[in-house]
Structure 1
Amino acid sequence: MSSGYNKIFWGILFTLFNINLFGIKILPTFVALLIIASGIKLLIEESNEENFKKALIFNNIRVVITILLFVLDFTPLNEVINSKNIISQIIININFVLDLITMTLLLKGSSEVFNKDKEISLYCNKRTSFYICIFSALIIIYNLTYIFLNQGIETIIAIGMLIIWLWIAFVFKRLHNESL
């Protein structure tokens, strides 16, 4: 199980830091999501937990969306998708919701897997509740900044998202350490 959690940890970190070299994406988001998917598959193989199976489905939907967005970057539609308009806002929100569902299912599945260890199970449950509350609030505030076109708040929300994703990555790092 530890290698599955380790892959999820690194996949989350790679989604945060898109590496571009002279305008070419060296590590596109879909590659990081594929790393997360491989980690989830390892967790499924070792535990057969139903929540992990559901998380894999939602993660794979994100993979398809990000591959499409990556391909569209090389077309004239790039201008429409990457500009501030309702289409890009919908795509961003779909990705946020899919991320919220995926990570929640992974944490719930981890709670079930570590059910015999009450301390780790409780740790996962608390992190799940906290993640749902904070991430949902950030999504709502992000959408309000779009409505009111406030760049300052948008920057603060981006920093908040970065912090919550780093935090969730380190939650999975702890689960990796606990499953050794």
Structure 2
Amino acid sequence: MIEKGFNQLYWGFLFTMLDFRIQGFDVLPDFVGYLLFASGFGILAANSMYFKKASKLNIPMIILSIFTIYERPKQEPGINIDLLGSIVGIVSLILGLLIIYYLFAGVKEMSVNVHQDIYEEADIRWRQYLMLQIAVMLGFVIIFIPFLNFLYIIGLLAASVVLMFVIMGFMKRCGEQLANNP
């Protein structure tokens, strides 16, 4: 069951970290990712209280992510700021950070006395995820700097995709190693 739980988290990261839209529709909707997280947290909850905490915070994210399945493509040039969208975005960011923090804390708790390598890597992956989110927030300032904004966005995109695959690989290893020797 542990391996299945981590497999759900594996796929959840694919849907939540990769944003690909066609005509405003999210091809890999976050909604599906948060449902996969819910399934994974439910399976792993007996192994760590942190998965239970993540599960509780995941519920509002499922609801909030429904509204991001379709986003009308921007028609006017320039930057449009939507107050309600900004508030929802900030709440989603905070909830998302807490969910991922608890996820990695749960991995650390499961591996503390058995798999020191997984314990240490969970800490590293959490810090990398946090740094990526801070870099994304910094992007809202950098978008106003010509030329640098383009390079920054390309760098963020590359870093995000690389980190997504690294975290997914880590979830796969957690499932294999913690299931064989919990």
State the TM-score, normalizing by the size of structure 2: 0.75
Over the matched positions of the two proteins, sequence identity in percent amounts to 22
Count residues with an aligned counterpart.
171
What SS does the corresponding residue of 2:68 show, helix, strand or coil?
helix
Q: Which residue of 1 aligns with 2:120?
A: 122
Q: Which residue of 2 aligns with 1:111?
A: 108
User: How many angstroms does 1:13 deviate by?
Assistant: 1.3
> How far apart, in 2, do the equivalents of 1:18 and 1:137 lie?
18
Which residue identity does 1:135 align to in structure 2?
L
> How far apart, in 2, do the equivalents of 1:153 and 1:26 lie?
24
User: CA contact under 8 A between 2:9 and 2:40: conserved in structure 1?
Assistant: yes
> How far apart, in 1, do the equivalents of 2:105 and 2:3 lie?
17
Please provide the CA RMSD for this pair: 3.0
> How far apart, in 2, do the equivalents of 1:176 and 1:22 lie?
36
> How far apart, in 1, do the equivalents of 2:138 and 2:123 lie?
24
> How far apart, in 1, do the equivalents of 2:65 and 2:5 lie?
22
Which residue identity does 1:163 align to in structure 2?
V
**Structure 1 pair 126–70 and aligned structure 2 pair: CA distance change class (3 A):** closer
Matched, 1:165 2:160: no
User: CA contact under 8 A between 1:18 and 1:27: conserved in structure 2?
Assistant: yes
Q: What does 1:83-122 correspond to in 2, within 5 Å?
A: 84-87=79-82, 88=85, 90-119=87-116, 120-122=118-120
**Structure 1 pair 64–127 and aligned structure 2 pair: CA distance change class (3 A):** same
Q: What whole-Å deviation, never above 9, does each CA across 1:6-51 have from its counterpart, x for those lacking one?
A: 110011113344576776555422012211111111111x31x221
Where structure 2 has 5 or more consecutive residues not aligned to the other structure, the ranges are: none
Q: Which residue of 1 aligns with 2:54?
A: 55
Q: What whole-Å deviation, never above 9, does each CA across 1:102-123 have from its counterpart, x for those lacking one?
A: 1111111111122221513233
> How far apart, in 1, do the equivalents of 2:134 and 2:127 lie?
12
State the TM-score, normalizing by the size of structure 1: 0.76
> How far apart, in 1, do the equivalents of 2:110 and 2:126 lie?
14
